Structure 1
Amino acid sequence: MLQRPLESEYPNYYQPYIQLVPNGEIVQLLRENLLAVVNFFHGLSEEEANHRYASGKWSVKEVLGHIIDTERIMTYRLLRVGRGDQTALAGFNETDYVEAAQIHNLSMEAILEDFKATRNAAITLIQNIPAEAWTNIGNANGMEITTRAIAYIIAGHEIHHRKIVEERYLKR
């Protein structure tokens, strides 16, 4: 079982995401949450999918697109750090990515297919990381981070945003 990362293994701003990840096997959690995300977002009406809880906030579709983009970037970082690559990895502007994606033009079904592909890619990579690579240290966005911290960030980031959609957008 992959050990939870220590606070010294990642920038402090990731702490809220990592805290949301329950104890247990990370791959199993990612699989369970893949199903939870699909079940949660599947069947939303077009009105619900395009809903913004306040002016200037992302729509539900845009939140899901942000989850996907971030998971892709974090999976790439996990690959690089896990393979021992010491090249500094650039940050990204999440707002620019959401705007550029134009995800409002896609159906929720297409977005969910993209999420499934992205999550499955993360799962297979995480399953195949050698045990000794989990504590590799890399540099992302000017900060040191370990391979295992990135795996936990992937899981926690999705949980964080799904909770926001549930509480602020759909009020479930």
Structure 2
Amino acid sequence: MQATIQRLNHWITEVPIRVHAFSERELSDRAQPGKWSKKEILGHLCDSALTNMQRFVRVQYEPQPYAVLKYAQNQWVELMGYQSLPIEHVLSLWVSLNKQVAQVIARIPEEMLQYSCDNGGENLVTVEWLIKDYVDHLEQIFLSE
């Protein structure tokens, strides 16, 4: 789990550098109608952090297998209003949330990493899988830009 936390901490440092390479306008522009701007993508990752932090906490005390909390990502991005917020607000939120996610992950007892989770797929997954999937998702987005 330490390697996954290190990957997350790398992005906590790297993302502000990448974001500051763009102007507010570049971050707010939508490439196509119906597509998210870079700012909204970062906002989506804030929503992902909020949702996953709840998962990582709840799985430690709710009955097994833990039923993974779902969320409607498009509605969250719209309702959170990321597009109209200054990028520094969105970036600060993302950094703070992910610092806390890293702390929560670091505190999960080793034996709980193998707890079962029902994420709606055909097979149950482990807490460890959920955590790695969270960081993988983050990396896929940042590496694709």
- Please, what TM-score do these two structures have when normalized by structure 2? 0.88
Q: Does residue 141 of structure 2 align to residue 126 of structure 1? A: no
* Residue equivalent to 1:113: 92
CA–CA distance in structure 1, aligned partners of residues 11 and 143 of structure 2? 12
Shift in Å, 1:159:
1.0
Residue type at the aligned position of 1:135: Q
Aligned sequence identity (%): 25
Runs of 4+ residues over 6 Å off in structure 1:
none
Does the 8 Å contact 1:136/1:146 carry over to 2? yes
* Residue equivalent to 2:142: 162
Shift in Å, 1:84:
5.1
Unaligned ranges ≥5, structure 1: 3-23, 167-172
Unaligned ranges ≥5, structure 2: none
Shift in Å, 1:88:
2.5
CA–CA distance in structure 2, aligned partners of residues 48 and 79 of structure 1? 36
Does the 8 Å contact 1:30/1:123 carry over to 2? yes
Does the 8 Å contact 2:5/2:102 carry over to 1? yes
Q: Does residue 127 of structure 2 align to residue 147 of structure 1? A: yes
Deviations 1:57-105 (A, max 9, x none): 0011100000110121112112222345435234211111111111122
1:138 aligned to which of 114, 117, 122: 117
Comparing both chains, which one has the higher relative contact order based on Cα–Cα distances under 8 Å and sequence gaps of 6 or more?
A: 1
CA–CA distance in structure 2, aligned partners of residues 94 and 64 of structure 1? 12
